[in-house]
Homo-oligomer: A and B are copies of this chain.
Amino acid sequence: MISWKIEENGYDPRKTANLGNKFLAGNGYMGIRGTLEEYTKEQFPAINLAGIYDQANGWREPLNAPNGLYTRLLVEGEEYSLLKKEWLSHKMSLNYRHGLFSRETVFQTKKGSISLQTERFASMEEKHLIALMVTLTPSFDGEAEIITGIDGDVWDINGPHYDSIDTGSLNECLYAFGTTHENQDHVAVVEAIGLLKKTDQMVSNGDRKVMRRISIPLKAGGQYKFYKYIAVYTSKDGENYQSEAEKLALKAKEAGYEKLLSGHKNNWEEKWKVSEVSIEGDDEAMEALNYSLYHLHSIAPRHSESLSIAARGLSGQTYKGAVFWDTEMFMLDFFLFTEPQIAKTLLKYRIDTLPGAQKKAESYGLDGAFYPWESQEGGYDACSDYNVTDVFTGRPMRTYFKDKQIHISAAVVYGIMRYTLFTGKRDLLSEGGAEVILECAKFYYSLLIRKIKDERYELWDVIGPDEYHERVNNNAYTNRMAKYTFDAAVEILKEEKKEANKDSLQKKELLERLQDAAEHLYIPAPDEKTGIIEQFDGYEQLEEVSIAEVKERLLHEKEYWGGAYGVASHTKIIKQADVVTMINLFSEEYDAETRYKNWIYYEPRTEHGSSLSACMYSMLACKCGMADKAYPFFIKSAGADLGDGGKQWAGLIYIGGTHPAASGGAYMTAVEGFAGLRIEDGKLKVSSRLSSAWIRLSFKVYYLGDLYQITVTKDEAQVKKIR
């Protein structure tokens, strides 16, 4: 049995930023950082919104809504807040089965102690709603005052994003309407309050805040509760976003906290019915994995039919709230297997942003679709030409992530094809997916070169998954993914031909060209002697050196390892799984020895400087029959958000946040690694490759519209259709 709960006891201000991520509660529309009610922007509270962005100071990032949770406690005119450090005990917890955040803090007042408890959730049933319950339990007679309302002076990494915030009160509600800088988008937050009895209120308004001041007479041993119902809408949700927000806040108040909570919980339970993964014999692993799945659920876009997930989920503005290859290559499978509609929503976002990808390709003089490395609304590439600051000169360094990480387009194709394969449905293809695939194939085709003296086609001047080596030729992963794209496009074109029974000359020519491309594109093969696949042309000539030695060469703890002159750049040390990712994706093309040799070769040369790395090593280790080597990488991936949250700062820029790709990677490792789930001859197959301590691994997956129960023990691996 696992607890489905994480807790933090005591209060340490140094942990505030990380706990904000770790205790995140979200519903896909918004993410509420695991921060406390009394926090102001210095402590990074945020109600982070999905898919709405603003540019300020040259930086485009998602919006944080005005903070309707803001609440301060005063007793006898004195404020009691964790920030004031007069607390006796403090505990916060997250029930990650139901996305329920709570805190309990006991303060020492001059008259006696008082407990402040809160509980809150971003409703999974009603995506625009947040509900908060506050309970005061005093040990004395006296008077409390509560200052609660909406704080529009929100935390931003590169803000402020609201040119103005109109605040006010009417019809029992508080209002904050923000207008953004770049596009004059609007965000509306409306708060209604539910009190046990009618109480005197003062409303103060101004300076981007609107607050109620409520007096509560206290009796020793009594319990005093009130509720806040906070509705969040943006102008992207429709013309009547303001009145909708008001209606929702009042409706919620009418329904009451308990009813809302019950609907919310039921909704979560429905999800777990399909998605829970049980690991008998290893509670730690099961906790970490299901906690990862909780995060994926919390950020899944269920309120839209075309939206994707940012690399740091809804935990804030890090990485500009942009969508990376993380979604298709690391998160997609979880949704595809447990809630395929979301997989479709994620991919529809790519289909709908095709014009942006086409524009990007054109800007580089290329054909087809070059998807953004950091995708925002409309397929705008938010990636800067200068992503890193030189710590020695303070100058921005020209980086080529945007220009050269061409494997991003293939990730989109991979996602669409995988959706089609696992759902057995061609809906996505006919709704634009086929066009995307053709456009991506045209993109790679326009990049293909060949040496005049050679027959083979090559791809030069790229960056593969390992970003420490920029502008390399024939990155194995990239070339293989481009071939995958050509193959997919050829399949699409053949299918179209069959279906339509027509064959335009243009399509025929394209088919011939892409078939030729797929046939001639050079895919680096295992070396005949060593069995090693070279990551890119010339990798083998780079300096052979240990990670420890490379670290010793650092002159500054924050200097960049990559770029033209980084400590790793001219060595074999790589940032993350690259060849190993390729072999993992196309494992059926490589024999057991090749898989094993490459794992053994590349692992000690990998810094694992990205949270995308561990799961690839873990999955491939499973596929090499090394479940026990896989295990620590699995735990690392599943626990990416459970520990201290990794690197939180790059110089003065906050880069912390949740790691949904690692969460998705952990899921894939369990399902496709330890349980060996795959399709063979159109059938779902599993294998038993359990880690030593595991007794039984069981979960459910959708395949071709049917739900299957998978059960794997040491001796047996079962697939059973249950619906």
Interface residues of A, Cβ cutoff 8 Å to B: 367, 390, 392-393, 395, 397-398, 445-453, 457-458, 460-461, 471, 517, 555, 563-565, 569-570
Chain B CB within 10 Å — which of A445, A448, A564 has the most? A564
Q: Which residue of B lies closest to A470 (CB)?
A: B564
Q: Which of B445, B446, B448, B452 contacts A445 (CB 8 A)?
A: B452
Report B-chain residues with C-beta under 8 Å of the C-beta of A449.
Answer: 449-452, 458, 460
Please state if B460 and A555 are interface contacts (CB–CB under 8 Å).
no
17 contacts between A and B (CB under 8 A): A390-B392, A392-B392, A395-B555, A397-B564, A397-B565, A398-B565, A398-B569, A445-B453, A448-B451, A448-B453, A449-B450, A449-B451, A449-B452, A450-B450, A452-B517, A460-B461, A564-B564
Complex: A398 Cα to B555 Cα, angstroms: 17
Complex Cα spacing A58 to B249, Å: 76
Q: CB distance A453 to B446 under 8 Å?
A: yes
CA distance A460 to B452 in the complex (A): 13
Which of A393, A397, A452, A457 is the most central at the interface, judged by chain B CB atoms within 10 Å of its CB? Answer: A452
In the complex, chain B residues whose CB is within 8 Å of the CB of A397:
564-565
State the CA gap A461–B447 with chains docked (Å): 15
A631–B392 alpha-carbon span in the complex (Å) = 43
Contacts of A450 in B (CB 8 A): 449-450, 452
Tell me the smallest distance from the CB of A561 to a CB of chain B, in Å.
Answer: 13
Pick the contact of A452: B448, B453, B461, B564 (CB < 8 A): B448
> Are the CB atoms of A564 and B398 closer together than 8 Å?
yes
By a CB distance below 8 angstroms, the chain B residues around A457 are 452
**Extra pairs beyond A461-B461, A563-B564 (12, CB < 8 Å):** A367-B453, A390-B392, A390-B565, A392-B393, A398-B569, A445-B452, A445-B453, A446-B453, A447-B451, A450-B450, A452-B457, A460-B460
Residues of B within 8 A of A398 (CB): 564-565, 569-570
| Copies of chain A in the complex | 2
Give the CA-CA distance A564 to B471 in the complex, in Å. Answer: 12
Residues of B within 8 A of A367 (CB): 453
Nearest Cβ on chain B to A78's Cβ, whole angstroms = 52
The docked-state distance in angstroms from the alpha carbon of A367 to that of B453 is 10
Instruction: Give Cα A445 to B454, complex, Å.
Output: 11
* Residues of B with C-beta under 8 A to A392: 390, 392-393
Cα–Cα distance between A447 and B449 once the two chains are bound (Å): 12
A400: min CB distance to chain B, Å: 10
Separation in Å of the A440 CB from the closest CB of chain B? 15
Q: How far is the CA of A367 from the CA of B452 in the complex (A)?
A: 12
Minimal Cβ-Cβ distance residue in B for A398: B570
Q: How far is the CA of A392 from the CA of B390 in the complex (A)?
A: 10
Q: For A555, list chain B residues within 8 Å (CB).
A: 393, 395
Chain B nearest CB, measured from A49 CB (Å): 35
C-alpha spacing A564/B392, complex, angstroms: 15
- Bound-complex Cα distance A398 to B457 (A): 28
Q: How far is the CB of A517 from chain B (nearest CB, A)?
A: 7
Complex CA–CA separation, A555 to B446 (angstroms): 41
CA distance A294 to B65 in the complex (A): 78
On chain B, the residues within 8 Å of A517 by CB distance are 452
- Report the Cα distance A393→B450, complex, angstroms: 39
Write the chain B residue with the least CB distance to A565.
Answer: B397
Residues of B within 8 A of A453 (CB): 367, 445-446, 448
In the complex, what residue of chain B is closest to A390 when comparing beta carbons? Answer: B565
Considering the chains assembled together, what is the distance between the CA atoms of A395 and B563 in angstroms?
Answer: 14
- Smallest CB separation, A160 vs chain B (Å): 30
Determine the chain B residues whose CB is within 8 A of the CB of A565 once the complex forms: 390, 395, 397-398, 563-565
Query: Closest CB of chain B to A311's CB: distance in Å?
Result: 26
- Please measure, in the bound complex, the distance between the C-alpha atom of A443 and the C-alpha atom of B564, giving whole angstroms: 27
Q: Which residues of B contact A395 (CB under 8 A)?
A: 555, 565
Q: Could you tell me if A451 and B460 are in contact, using CB atoms closer than 8 angstroms?
A: no
Q: Give the complex CA separation of A367 and B457 in angstroms.
A: 19
Complex CA gap A577/B368 in Å reads 37
A550 CB to nearest B CB, Å: 13
The minimal Cβ–Cβ distance linking A58 to chain B, given in whole angstroms, is: 16
| Residues of B close to A569: CB separation below 8 A | 398
CA distance A565 to B566 in the complex (A): 12
Smallest CB–CB gap between A551 and chain B, Å?
15
- Tell me which residues across on chain B come within 8 A of A570, comparing CB atoms: 398
Residues of B within 8 A of A458 (CB): 449
Distance, CA A564 to CA B395, complexed state (A) = 12
Q: Roughly how many angstroms separate A461 CA and B445 CA in the complex, as a whole number?
A: 20
Q: Which residues of B contact A390 (CB under 8 A)?
A: 392, 565
A108 and B669 CA atoms in complex are apart in Å by 91
Distance of A563 Cα from B570 Cα, bound (Å): 15
Give A556's nearest chain B residue, CB to CB: B393
Residue in chain B with minimal CB distance to A385: B570
Can you name the residue of chain B whose Cβ is closest to the Cβ of A537? B365
Determine the distance from Cα of A452 to Cα of B390 in the docked complex, in whole angstroms. Answer: 38
Look across to chain B and name the residue whose beta carbon is closest to the beta carbon of A457. Answer: B452
Which residue of B is nearest A517, CB measured? Answer: B452
**Cα distance A450–B445 when bound, in Å?**
12
Most chain B CB within a 10 A radius of its CB, from A367, A446, A453, A569: A453
CB distance from A29 to the nearest CB of B (A): 40
Q: A451 — nearest CB in chain B belongs to which residue?
A: B449
In the docked arrangement, what's the CA distance between A393 and B367, Å?
41
> Do A451 and B461 form a contact, CB below 8 Å, given A393-B555, A471-B471, A565-B398?
no
Q: Which of A367, A393, A447, A555 has the most CB of B within 10 A?
A: A393
Minimum distance in angstroms from A241 CB to a CB of chain B = 41
Q: How far is the CB of A555 from chain B (nearest CB, A)?
A: 6
Q: How far is the CA of A398 from the CA of B471 in the complex (A)?
A: 14
Find chain B residues with CB under 8 A from A447 CB.
Answer: 451
